[in-house]
Amino acid sequence: MTSTNDIRRSFLDYFGSTGHRVVPSAPLVPQNDPTLMFVNAGMVPFKNVFTGLETRPYSTAASSQKCVRAGGKHNDLDNVGYTARHHTFFEMLGNFSFGDYFKERAITHAWTLITKEWGIDPNRLTATVYHTDDEAFDLWKKIAGLPESRIIRIPTKDNFWAMGDNGPCGPCSEIFFDHGDHIPGGPPGSPDEDGDRFVEIWNLVFMQYEQENNEIVRDLPKPSIDTGMGLERIAAVLQGVHDNYDTDTFKALIASSGEFTKTETTGARQASHRVIADHLRTSGFLVADGVLPANEGRGYVLRRIMRRAMRHAHILGASEPLMHRLVPALVAEMGAAYPELVRAQPLIEETLKLEETRFRQTLDKGLRLLDEATGSMKEGDTLPGDVAFKLYDTYGFPYDLTEDALRSQGLEVDRSGFDAAMAEQKAAARAAWKGSGQKASEDVWFDIAEEFGSTEFTGYSGHEGEGQL
């Protein structure tokens, strides 16, 4: 079996040997883009190169970029544990051309790597193109020999990429792997495309136009290429498993949580183990890149992720903090590729232990309150927003943790009621400050806190998601 570490290596070697500069992953906290919470695609560190603001001593590159999609437009948090293909942290393998080669070579490289180097059966592959992109359609026929029935024209934004309202944009082409008809789901473009049978493995973006105010105004003088392939998804394909969580890396992490909790990792416990393994990676990598749990901004996203994992540890019956004990397994799996993980290991362990110790002090009581509140509810009912707020405010339950906790019973949470309770508390706090005779500066602080939200980072501007492929 080819390990995930070997697959990463093989990807970078292939592109290195075809003239690409192999570039290390950038940190998860964006270095050049304050509108983005976390790097969420391989192209993010190259944004200024694509727009021409920055030049590099190479015109083609390849990387394995750490990505987090746990907020804003690209929020895969709720999918984790429930789909075979989504993580909050994942690695995006990508090759890039900055005005160098274009469509033909991009498709040739992708096809050569997956079918020739890696030997994936071409009969299980389907490509999509943007509905007007005849050029890409013809190239898939010519280069890959795909029958027309497996080159699907998609008219939606899924196959048209843009870097915000201004800047480069263009059609994209995605490669899907068919995991077989024993898995529910339809081909791309069909009504049940969101199933897990046809899994998108690679997205090739053809930057060829320039937009101004959301309108295409001209052809780019030098078209560019941006691609992204999920390492965990291609690892599943190459390891002959359907599910990302059955690949070597995840199996090792899940074995570790099974061992420490002395629980089965399948059946009813499966989702909890998967959430824990996923969130362990996200927590570990975020801490290694300098993010610590906090009540706002990036740190709050991290706290939410940690606490969600900790609730699942509780479900598994962990009688003492669990997450920090799994860090050695994470470092063993990924430390060679990401030395920052090794360097930060003590900090990651300390941080997880402290957070879990604290959270456990209120977790039990909060869950009891939740049980009482939902005792007489039935599927389809909604938990009142003020209960969710009390859980948040008194017991430290992030909103989405409450949502996640109710999901298996088919219960929902009244989000607007929660928001209203939050707003009310802020107004009360503000009035109290005013009454205390403090100077105007505190008023300013509350204005800012209200505008930007002290608990939910809203730093995603209208351009949020620019990094998406």
Q: Which residues bind Mg ion (CB under 5 A)?
A: 200, 203
Inter-residue contact 310 to 359 (CB < 8 Å): yes
Q: Which is nearer to ligand ATP, 15 or 418 (CB)?
A: 15
The verdict on 201 binding ligand ATP (CB under 6 A) reads yes
Written as six digits, the tokens of 464 are 């949020």
Stretch of residues binding ligand ATP (CB under 6 A), selected from 140-148, 197-205, 328-336, 356-364: 197-205
Instruction: Determine the 3-state secondary structure of 85 from DSSP.
Output: coil
Per CB under 6 A, contacts with ligand ATP among 203-262 are: 203, 228-230, 232-233
From Mg ion, ligand ATP, none, interface partner of 233 (C-beta below 5 to 8 A by class): ligand ATP
Task: Identify the CA nearest to 463 among candidates 239, 101, 164.
Answer: 164
Whose Cβ is closer to ligand ATP: residue 284's or residue 321's? 284
- Counting residues that bind ligand ATP (by CB under 6 A) gives 18
- The Cα–Cα gap between 124 and 178 comes to 5
Toward Mg ion, which CB reaches closer, 200 or 278? 200
Place of tokens 């291609």: 234
Output the smallest distance, CB 232 to Mg ion, in A.
Answer: 13
> Which DSSP symbol is given to 77?
G
Conformation bin of residue 145: beta by default, left when phi > 0, alpha when psi is -120 to 50: left
When the beta carbons of 231 and 329 are compared against ligand ATP, the nearer one is 231
Could you say whether residue 127 binds ligand ATP (CB under 6 A)? no
Residue nearest to ligand ATP (CB): 230
Task: Choose the contact partner of 197 out of Mg ion, ligand ATP, none; CB within 5 to 8 A by kind.
Answer: none
Q: Indicate the residue among 385 and 467 with the shorter CB distance to ligand ATP.
A: 467
Are the C-beta atoms of 168 and 209 separated by less than 8 Å? yes
Among residues 12, 98, 128, 200, the one that binds ligand ATP under rule CB under 6 A: 200
Tell which one of 69, 150, 304, 314 touches ligand ATP (CB under 6 A): 69
In the complex with ligand ATP, which residue's Cβ is closer, 247 or 272? 247
Which entry of Mg ion, ligand ATP, none binds 228, CB below 5 to 8 A by partner kind?
Answer: ligand ATP
Question: Do residues 302 and 262 lie in contact, with contact meaning Cβ atoms separated by under 8 Å?
Answer: no
Tokens at residue 319, please?
Answer: 């009688």
Subset of residues 74 to 93 that bind ligand ATP, contact rule: CB under 6 A:
76, 85-87, 90, 92
Structure tokens at 229: 């392939």
Q: Which residues contact 266 (CB under 8 A, 6 or more apart)?
A: none
Q: Return the closest-CA partner of residue 22 out of 6, 32, 38, 10.
A: 10
Residue number with CB closer to ligand ATP (76 or 289): 76
Q: For residue 153, what are its two tokens? A: 């024209």
- Measure the CA–CA gap between 63 and 96, rounded to whole angstroms: 9
Helix (H, G, I), strand (E, B) or coil at 323: helix
Instruction: Say how far apart CA 369 and CA 78 lie, in whole Å.
Output: 23
| Least separation in angstroms between CB 85 and ligand ATP | 6
